Each structure stands twice: as structure tokens, then as C-alpha cells.
């Protein structure tokens, strides 16, 4: 079962940084889907509105949707601090 959609304010420079970090960590991107470490996400970045939309569509049974969302928000915040 998919988790709830996460919507975050993300400036274009932060979005580029997040993509680079995810790629270097081993994320595979295929159109609007990304996968890493047993997790699959649907994602969409609206550059005009500067909004990142992320939905976890597949995860290991031991990872709750709340934990997935918490980790995503922390990664975005941490990346934003170093800009």
C-alpha cells in the first residue's frame, strides 16, 4: 500500500542537489519513479511552484510510512542547510 503524498517547498538549486545526492547514494531514476534500498517512489517536481511531490509506493514491511516521511523531510532539511 502506498503512503500519503509528501509535498515540500524546494527551490530549484536544492532540487538539483537532492537529485545529485540521491544518484550518488545509488538511487535509480526512471521517469517519475525512483528506487533505492527496497523503496520505490513516485515523484514530481513543479519548478514553477517550487514544490516537490513524493509518494512512497513500495517499502519494506518494517518501515512505516511515518518513518519514510520523517527520513525524507530530514534529508531535504539537511541538504538545504548546506546551500
Give the tens place of pLDDT for each residue, 39-56. Answer: 999 999 999 999 999 999
Question: Under a CB-based contact definition with an 8 Å cutoff, are residues 25 and 79 in contact?
Answer: no
Phi, psi at 38, each rounded to 5°: 80, 5
Query: What is the DSSP code (8-state) at residue 70?
Result: H
Helix and strand tally (H, E) in the chain? 2, 5
Structural domain boundaries in the chain: 6-81
Give the tens place of pLDDT for each residue, 11-70. Answer: 999 999 999 999 999 999 999 999 999 999 999 999 999 999 999 999 999 999 999 999
Answer positive or negative: Cα dihedral of 28, 4, 6, 37: negative
Instruction: Give the contacts of 53 (CB within 8 A, at least 6 positions apart).
Output: 5, 6, 7, 43, 44, 45, 46
The CATH class given to the 6-81 domain equals alpha beta
pTM listed for this prediction: 0.90
Q: How confident is the model at residue 82 (pLDDT cuts 50, 70, 90)?
A: confident
Amino acid at each position: 500500500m502506498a503512503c500519503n503524498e509528501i509535498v515540500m517547498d524546494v527551490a530549484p538549486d536544492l532540487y538539483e542537489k537532492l537529485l545529485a545526492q540521491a544518484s550518488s547514494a545509488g538511487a535509480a531514476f526512471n521517469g517519475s519513479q525512483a528506487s533505492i534500498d527496497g523503496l520505490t517512489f513516485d515523484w514530481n517536481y513543479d519548478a514553477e511552484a517550487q514544490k516537490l511531490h513524493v509518494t512512497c509506493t513500495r517499502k519494506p514491511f518494517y518501515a512505516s510510512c511515518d518513518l519514510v516521511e520523517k527520513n525524507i523531510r530530514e534529508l531535504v532539511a539537511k541538504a538545504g542547510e548546506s546551500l
